[in-house]
Amino acid sequence: MDSRVTERRNPRTQEIDLAEPAGIVDLMLAEDREVPRAVATQREAIARAIAMAESTFRGGGRLFYVGAGTSGRLGVLDASECPPTFGTDPSMVQGIIAGGVAALTSAQEGAEDDQEQARADLAARGVRAGDMVVGIAASGTTPYVRVAMEHARSVGARTALVACSPPPADMLAAAEIPIVAVTGPEVVTGSTRLKAGTATKLILNMITTGAMVRLGKTYGNLMVDLRATNVKLADRSERIVAEVTGLPRDEAKVLLGAAGGRVKLAITMHALGVDAAEAQRRLDAGGGVIRRVVPMPPPAVQ
């Protein structure tokens, strides 16, 4: 029997090929209910990863996700969502996938086993001391991920691992923070795009969202560092400013314009009665955390 839990057969779904569509839904829902429980067992490790990421960012370092296949795609996805959501520079959180950009849309055979390419890919991004590398390996055994973390440690970067099957000793040794959410055998044997993929997505959500909240990218649970790169986000920006300040929508839009489209700056300007330059100075002095600068909490949810 394969020692990797993600490669074992699931006795509860061994007759899924006989099920009607509704039965397939029921089987998959039953399995997916176990995913949050598995992730919850890693609460403390995830919290440590959030703290490590926050420390990395405050020190000017970057976060790199490294994975192959589904794991790599999920890392790239999470990294790509940070700039529009939190107003971060694209270099702050980056995803590295075995096989490069082509692997995002099609399988690159053998890429997950290419250990030399792992070193080359991290070197090409300039991974260095002060950075953080999160290896993502659903099976816990991906050679590309293990070598990437070993390379990261050799240059002084911090490391964490996200896995859904207990990793071997050499993989664990490369990770300062192992996050191992054992999700059990998949609905379809070995298809880690299913429960393992869902667990991975939950964990990555927590790491970046947690770190960004700690950096002051939210005011309460309001997204105040978003970039209004489309009509929907521009509308959201205006709604947030109007809700926090109590201004009519048209006045909130004018205020947002005076703040260069920056929600956090607009809120600070209004709360302190200062111009954009002074508001920015106050925010910088407060480490970018709006609650350290603005004397009132955000409005309560109605």
Q: Give me the active site residues, please.
A: 81, 112
Cα separation, 288 vs 90, whole angstroms: 18
* Of 76, 75, 193, 74, the residue nearest 139 (C-alpha): 193
Collapsed DSSP state (helix, strand, coil) of residue 96? strand
Q: CB within 8 A of 139, min separation 6: which ones?
A: 4, 6, 7, 163, 164, 165, 192
* CB-CB contact of 96 with 148 (8 Å): yes
Phi then psi dihedrals of residue 186, to 5 deg = -80, 160
Question: How many other C-beta atoms lie within 10 A of the C-beta of residue 115?
Answer: 15
CA distance 202 to 182: 13
Q: How far is CA 193 from each of CA 5, 139, 142, rounded to the nearest angstrom?
A: 14, 11, 15
List the 132-137 sheet strands across, edge first: 93-97, 63-67, 132-137, 158-163, 177-180
Give φ, ψ of 252 to 5 degrees: -65, -35
Strand partners, 83: none
Rounded CA separation 234/185 (Å): 43
Q: Of 162, 128, 129, 165, which Cα lies nearest the Cα of 145?
A: 162
Helix or strand or coil: residue 135? strand
